[in-house]
C-alpha cells in the first residue's frame, strides 16, 4: 500500500514552477496573438484568450484531482484507460468532418480531440506492459505486442487524418529502445527462414530504431540533392548531377566514421558502419527514384507539400504561404523584438500569419520578444526536458521511469516540430506548441500528463506501486 505523503514536500517544485510559468506565458501569448481592441478584457469569455483561461483553469482542476489519486491506480487500470482511448478514436471516425478531418468529438464549438488524450493512454499502457516483461528474454510475441500498443492508435489517428499526432507517436519507439525492446526476435525469425542459416542474434535488430531514423535522414539528404546540379566556377563546362554529390557525401561520411571508430573501437564496429552506409545508400537511392518518378501516384497537395518542404519548388504566395509568412514573422523580431502586443506580421489585424494563436503561436512570441526572448523560452523548455529526465532516472519503479521518458519525448516532439514549422525546418503538419497554443484538448492533455508525472514522482519512494 502506498504511504501518505505531504504534497508540499513530495512534489518536484522546479518542474511544477516552470510548468506554471509556461501556463502564464501561454495565456499572455494567446492574449497578444488574438487581441481584439473591441474586447480588451482578458476575462472576456467570448474571445479566445478568455476561453483559454477557462481551459487552463479546468486543466488545473483536473490536475488537482490527479494529485488526489493514488499513483498505483494508473498502473492497475492502464489497460482499461488504453482501451477507453481506443474506443474514443474509433467513435471519432464516425463524427462529421471538420476542416477535412474527423478528429473532434463533441457538439458545436464544444469538443475534444481524443488523439490528444490517446498519447497519455498509450504512455500509461506501454509503461505498464514493458515494466512487467523481462527485456533480456524477449520473445517475438512480446515485441509485437509492445509495438501493437503504439501502432494501433497510430493507424486510427492516420485515418482521421491527423499527420501531426501520428508523427508524435513515433516518439514511443525511442522509449522502447531506451528500455531494451529490440527487434532481434523478429529479424532473427525472418533471417533464419533462409535455408542453412542459424543466427543467434543480430546487431541490426538491437539498434533498429537509430538505424531507421538515420536512414530517414539520409533519404531526406538524397531528395534534397537529387534534382540539383552542382557546378564549379573554375570549370564552367563541368556539371555534376546532385545524385553524384550524394554518393560523394556518403563516402565522406563513411571515411569520417571509420576514423572516429578506429580511435574509440575495433574493426567490427567499422564493418557495421560500412553496412549502415551501404544500406542507407540503397534505400535512399530507391526512395529518391520513387519520389522523383512516382509523384503521379500522389495527390496534388501531397506532392506540393513534399516538394515545397524539400525546396524542389517555390510557391511563396500559394501552398507555401503559411510557412513563408511564419518565417517572415519570426525574422522580423530581430534581436530584441518589437515589444508586447506590437507584432505586425503575426498580428490578427494584418492576418499575414493564419492560425497565429494555434499552430503558429511561436510567431508572435518571436516577433514581440526577438531572438533574446526566444532564447529565454528555449532555455526554459530545455530545463523542463532535462528536469523530466532527471525525474525519470531517480525512480525506483520501472513503470514510473518509462512514463517519465514518454512525457519527455512527447514534449520534445511537440516543441521541436512546432518550432521547426515556424522557422521552415519542418513541414506544416498542424501540431500545437505545449502550454502555448490555443485549444482545450491540447491544454488539458498536456496538463494532465504533467500532473500524472508529478504524482508518480511524489510516491517514488514507495516500495510497490
Whether residue 150 is found in the same domain as residue 223: no
For the cut 90, the answer to whether the pLDDT of residue 383 exceeds it is: yes
Q: CA–CA separation, 146 vs 79, rounded Å? A: 13
Whether residue 107 is found in the same domain as residue 173: yes
pLDDT for 406: 94
Whether residue 23 is found in the same domain as residue 66: yes
Whether residue 168 is found in the same domain as residue 202: no
Q: Which phi and psi (to 5°) does residue 134 adopt?
A: -95, 105
* Residue 63 near residue 448, CB atoms below 8 Å: yes
Of residues 138 and 308, more confidently modeled: 138
pLDDT for 308: 60
Whether residue 43 is found in the same domain as residue 169: yes
pLDDT for 6: 56
Whether residue 69 is found in the same domain as residue 146: yes
Whether residue 171 is found in the same domain as residue 220: no
Task: Quote the crossing angle between the two packed helices 171-178 and 114-130, to the nearest 10°.
Answer: 10
Confidence of residue 241 (pLDDT cuts 50, 70, 90): very low
Whether residue 118 is found in the same domain as residue 202: no
And the C-alpha cell for 60? Answer: 488545473
Whether residue 39 is found in the same domain as residue 146: yes
For the cut 50, the answer to whether the pLDDT of residue 238 exceeds it is: no
Q: CA–CA separation, 390 vs 50, rounded Å? A: 35
- Report the domain count for the chain: 2
Of the residues 263, 290, 312, which one is the last residue of a structural domain? 312
Instruction: Tell me, yes or no, whether 358 lies in a domain.
Output: no
Whether residue 154 is found in the same domain as residue 256: no
Vertex 49, ends 85 and 41: CA angle to 5°? 150
Whether residue 124 is found in the same domain as residue 265: no
pLDDT for 306: 58
Mean pLDDT score, 459-463: 71
User: Which domain range does residue 288 map to?
Assistant: 198-312
> CA Rg, the chain, in Å?
24
Instruction: Tell me, yes or no, whether 344 lies in a domain.
Output: no
Instruction: Tell me, yes or no, whether 235 lies in a domain.
Output: yes
Of the residues 312, 331, 365, which one is the last residue of a structural domain? 312
Whether residue 276 is found in the same domain as residue 417: no
Mean pLDDT, the chain, as a whole number?
76
Of residues 290 and 84, more confidently modeled: 84
Instruction: Tell me, yes or no, whether 385 lies in a domain.
Output: yes
* Residue 176 near residue 146, CB atoms below 8 Å: yes
Of the residues 296, 312, 328, which one is the last residue of a structural domain? 312
The pTM assigned to this predicted structure is 0.80
Q: Which residue has the cell 541490426?
A: 204
* Residue 172 near residue 126, CB atoms below 8 Å: yes
Confidence of residue 179 (pLDDT cuts 50, 70, 90): confident
* Chain length of the chain: 465
Instruction: Tell me, yes or no, whether 17 lies in a domain.
Output: yes
pLDDT for 126: 93
* Residue 449 near residue 121, CB atoms below 8 Å: no
Instruction: Tell me, yes or no, whether 339 lies in a domain.
Output: no
Instruction: Tell me, yes or no, whether 324 lies in a domain.
Output: no
And the C-alpha cell for 422? Answer: 515556424
Instruction: Tell me, yes or no, whether 103 lies in a domain.
Output: yes
Amino acid at each position: 500500500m502506498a504511504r501518505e505523503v505531504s504534497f508540499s514536500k513530495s512534489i518536484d517544485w522546479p518542474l511544477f514552477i516552470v510548468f506554471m510559468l509556461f501556463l502564464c506565458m501561454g495565456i499572455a501569448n494567446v492574449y497578444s496573438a488574438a487581441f481584439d481592441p473591441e474586447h480588451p478584457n482578458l476575462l472576456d469569455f467570448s474571445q479566445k484568450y478568455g476561453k483559454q483561461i477557462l481551459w487552463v483553469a479546468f486543466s488545473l482542476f483536473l490536475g488537482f484531482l490527479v494529485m488526489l489519486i493514488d499513483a498505483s491506480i494508473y498502473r492497475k487500470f492502464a489497460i482499461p484507460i488504453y482501451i477507453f482511448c481506443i474506443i474514443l478514436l474509433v467513435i471519432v471516425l464516425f463524427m462529421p468532418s471538420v476542416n477535412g478531418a474527423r478528429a473532434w468529438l463533441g457538439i458545436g464549438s464544444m469538443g475534444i480531440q481524443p488523439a490528444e488524450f490517446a498519447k497519455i493512454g498509450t504512455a500509461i499502457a506501454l509503461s505498464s506492459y514493458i515494466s512487467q516483461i523481462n527485456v533480456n528474454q524477449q520473445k517475438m510475441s512480446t515485441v509485437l505486442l509492445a509495438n501493437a500498443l503504439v501502432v494501433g492508435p497510430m493507424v486510427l489517428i492516420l485515418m482521421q487524418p491527423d499527420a501531426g499526432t501520428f508523427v508524435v507517436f513515433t516518439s514511443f519507439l525511442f522509449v522502447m529502445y531506451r528500455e531494451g525492446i529490440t527487434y532481434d526476435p523478429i529479424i532473427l525469425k525472418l533471417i533464419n527462414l533462409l535455408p542453412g542459416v542459424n543466427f543467434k542474434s543480430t546487431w541490426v535488430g538491437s539498434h533498429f530504431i537509430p538505424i531507421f531514423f538515420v536512414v530517414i535522414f539520409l533519404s531526406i539528404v538524397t531528395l534534397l540533392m537529387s534534382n540539383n546540379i552542382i557546378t564549379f566556377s573554375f570549370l564552367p563546362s563541368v556539371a555534376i548531377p546532385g545524385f553524384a554529390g550524394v554518393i560523394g557525401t556518403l563516402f565522406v561520411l563513411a571515411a569520417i566514421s571509420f576514423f572516429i571508430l578506429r580511435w574509440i573501437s575495433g574493426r567490427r564496429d567499422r564493418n557495421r558502419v560500412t553496412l549502415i552506409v551501404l544500406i542507407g545508400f540503397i534505400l535512399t537511392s530507391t526512395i529518391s527514384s520513387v519520389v522523383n518518378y512516382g509523384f503521379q501516384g500522389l495527390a496534388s497537395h501531397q506532392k506540393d507539400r513534399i516538394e515545397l518542404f524539400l525546396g524542389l519548388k517555390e510557391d511563396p504566395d500559394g501552398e507555401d504561404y503559411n510557412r513563408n509568412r511564419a518565417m517572415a514573422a519570426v525574422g522580423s523580431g530581430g534581436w530584441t523584438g518589437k515589444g508586447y502586443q506590437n507584432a505586425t506580421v503575426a498580428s490578427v489585424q494584418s492576418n499575414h500569419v493564419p492560425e497565429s494563436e494555434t499552430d503558429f503561436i511561436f510567431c508572435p512570441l518571436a516577433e514581440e520578444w526577438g531572438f533574446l526572448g526566444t532564447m529565454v523560452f528555449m532555455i526554459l523548455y530545455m530545463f523542463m526536458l532535462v528536469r523530466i529526465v532527471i525525474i525519470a532516472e531517480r525512480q525506483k519503479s520501472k513503470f514510473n521511469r518509462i512514463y517519465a521518458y514518454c512525457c519527455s519525448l512527447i514534449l520534445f516532439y511537440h516543441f521541436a516540430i512546432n518550432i521547426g514549422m515556424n522557422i521552415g525546418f519542418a513541414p506544416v503538419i498542424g501540431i500545437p506548441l505545449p502550454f502555448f497554443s490555443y485549444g482545450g484538448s491540447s491544454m488539458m492533455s498536456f496538463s494532465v500528463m504533467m500532473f500524472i508525472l508529478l504524482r508518480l514522482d511524489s510516491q517514488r519512494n514507495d516500495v510497490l506501486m
